[in-house]
Amino acid sequence: MNLWNRLMCFSRRRSPWLFHMNSGSCNGCDIELIASLTPRYDAEQLGVRLEGSPRHADILCITGPVTRNSVQAIKTVYGQVCGPKAVVAIGSCPATTNVFIDSRTLDGPLNRHLPVDVFVPGCPPRPDAIIQGIAAAAGILAERAAKRWPAESVMVPMADPESACDCTKCDCTKEDKSSADTPAREVQP
């Protein structure tokens, strides 16, 4: 890898800009995501910035179990984020639809629609876990630096497929977990 690519790798790891999107969440994960940016957790030390426009973002943070109404919206916003990009699913809802499973208003989980790079399970996950997930996603972006975009097929292998959802409220089955189109990296809270 030449010097420019190494610099690009390093910069991508150190400067993840987020766009936050709610796909029908109960607002619990949204509050925790905002908490991770507040002075107590101070995610800006990692260069994290919450951006208002998806055009500026590198990492799309999606909360919620993906309702039917929001499917087209998340696809549109994913298209608006310029590459290279990563998707972080925050909470158990986007991973498995959580307690809303089998609801007829849902079209989840998230990885039926978008290639998810990092799952941050929890109901809601702690801000520490969210920051860890964002850092992992920034690492994935850095790995993509050397490769030519688009590189949607480049995914980090799943660490442990059995623990896609570790919340106690969730009764998700193994079929739900294996329905993932793309393997993804785990972040344990």
Partner 1 sequence: MNLTTALARLLIFPGLLFAVPFAWFFLWVERKSVALMQGRIGPPFMQPFFDFIKLLGKTTPPRRGVSGLLMKTWPLLAVSTAGGAVGLLPVLPSSGGFEGDLILLLALLEVPSMCIIAAGFSSRSIFGEIGSAREAVLSVSYNVVFLLAIVSIAASQHTFRLEALAHLPASPMLILAVVAILVCLPAKLHINPFSLPNAEQEIYSGPITEYAGPELAMWELSHGLEWVAATGLVATLIAPHFTAVWLAVLAFVVLSFGVVLLLSVTAAATARLQIDTTVRFYWQCTLIFAVLAISSALFMRFRS
Q: Which residues bind partner 1 (CB under 8 A)?
A: 7-8, 10-12, 14-15, 17, 39, 42, 44-45, 47, 51-53, 55-56, 58, 80, 82-84, 145, 149
**Residue with Cβ nearer partner 1 (152 or 162):** 152
Which has the closest alpha carbon to 84: 46, 138, 141, 140?
A: 141
Rounded Cα gap, residues 103 and 21, in angstroms: 21
**Residue with Cβ nearer partner 1 (15 or 103):** 15
Nearest distance, CB of residue 9 and partner 1, angstroms: 9
Nearest distance, CB of residue 177 and partner 1, angstroms: 32
The pairing of beta strand 17-22 with beta strand 59-63: parallel
Nearest distance, CB of residue 16 and partner 1, angstroms: 9
The 3-state DSSP class for residue 164 equals coil
Nearest distance, CB of residue 25 and partner 1, angstroms: 20
The answer to whether 64 and 8 are in contact (CB under 8 A) is: no
Nearest 10 degrees: Cα torsion 29, 116, 77, 44: 60
**Residue with Cβ nearer partner 1 (10 or 162):** 10
**Residue with Cβ nearer partner 1 (68 or 149):** 149
Cβ neighbours around 123 below 10 Å, total: 18
Nearest distance, CB of residue 56 and partner 1, angstroms: 6
End-to-end CA distance of the chain: 33
Rounded Cα gap, residues 106 and 102, in angstroms: 8
**Residue with Cβ nearer partner 1 (17 or 135):** 17
